[in-house]
């Protein structure tokens, strides 16, 4: 994984080792869903890309005992102005996606599964998809993550996402010139602003926020998902997502 946004000596919070809260760890076990702990340094059996390198971040603060699934479900931001989200903020189901633009299985999900989920569930108000930048393959991954955020500031995240995940796109790399080319392809209107935003502190802060959230709950491979707080790892078949969305929708309606 890329280095954490803060080095171990930079702050008291970032000196703490990576920990998963007991509640969140319990959720991954008791829900009976796929583990986020991959077993190989390359492609996992469930269609995940993994890196074995650990990171450093602050542990969740101790608090009163709560439903572990509720802790994960509460990660949905539901911000109406979120540039890296699709769907209604009050949708009954929220899918949080932790992904990397250099991840082959993330690209497979983006090309083969996500468009159908958008058409079937986002457009009818059932589903909201919230993207989390979770780069694990080094500098190119981090640069692409910041570029996606910058494209989003001009309401072109979805278009940049599609361009960066197009077949063969990741093989061309994500150096600065290539990222500007992708932004142009995505229809980003102000490329000078895009380049400034991509290199700015706000992009770095947004990336750090997403990374630390993923590290805190134990994400180690991409793509990884939460569907109303229930983990699902890898580029699973569309039927797996449809079943999880249906369950989450039914549970939301019953409350």
Q: What pLDDT shows up at residue 192? A: 98
The gap from C-alpha 26 to its chain's centroid, in whole angstroms, comes to: 21
Query: Which of 69, 9, 57 minimizes the C-alpha distance to 209?
Result: 57
Confidence band for 193, pLDDT divided at 50, 70 and 90: very high
Tokens linked to 24? 């969140």
Which pLDDT does position 38 carry in this prediction? 32
pLDDT of residue 170: 95
What pLDDT sits at residue 46? 55
Residue 64 has pLDDT above 90, yes or no: no
Average pLDDT, the chain: 82
pLDDT at residue 187 is higher than 50: yes
Q: State both tokens at 176.
A: 């600065």
Q: Is the pLDDT of residue 19 over 60?
A: no
Residue 115, token pair as written in the block? 């468009």
Q: How many residues does the chain have?
A: 255
* 38-50: pLDDT as tens digits: 322 344 445 777 6
Measured between its terminal Cα atoms, the distance across the chain in Å is 39
pLDDT in tens, 72-121: 999 999 999 999 999 999 999 999 999 999 999 999 999 999 999 999 99
- What integer pLDDT is reported at residue 168 of this predicted model? 96
What is the model's pLDDT at position 51? 57
């Amino acid at each position: 994984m890329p280095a954490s946004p803060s080095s171990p000596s930079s702050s008291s919070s970032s000196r703490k080792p990576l920990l998963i809260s007991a509640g969140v760890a319990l959720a991954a076990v008791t829900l009976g869903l796929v583990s986020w702990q991959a077993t190989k340094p390359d492609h996992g059996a469930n269609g995940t890309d993994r890196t074995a390198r650990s990171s450093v971040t602050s542990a969740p603060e101790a608090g009163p005992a709560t439903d572990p699934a509720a802790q994960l479900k509460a990660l949905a931001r539901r911000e109406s102005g979120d540039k890296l989200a699709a769907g209604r903020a009050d949708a009954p189901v929220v899918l949080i996606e932790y992904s990397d633009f250099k991840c082959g299985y993330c690209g497979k999900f983006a090309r083969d599964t996500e468009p159908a989920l958008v058409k079937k569930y986002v457009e009818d108000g059932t589903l909201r998809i919230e993207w989390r930048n979770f780069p694990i393959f080094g500098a190119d991954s981090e640069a692409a993550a910041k570029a996606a955020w910058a494209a989003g500031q001009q309401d072109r995240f979805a278009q940049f996402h599609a361009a960066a995940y197009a077949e063969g796109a990741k093989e061309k790399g994500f150096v600065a010139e290539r990222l500007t080319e992708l932004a142009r392809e995505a229809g980003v209107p102000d490329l000078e602003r895009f380049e400034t935003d991509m290199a700015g502190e706000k992009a770095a802060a947004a990336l750090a926020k997403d990374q630390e959230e993923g590290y805190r709950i134990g994400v180690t491979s991409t793509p990884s998902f939460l569907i109303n707080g229930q983990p699902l790892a890898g580029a699973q078949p569309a039927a797996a997502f449809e079943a999880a969305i249906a369950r989450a929708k039914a549970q939301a309606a019953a409350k």
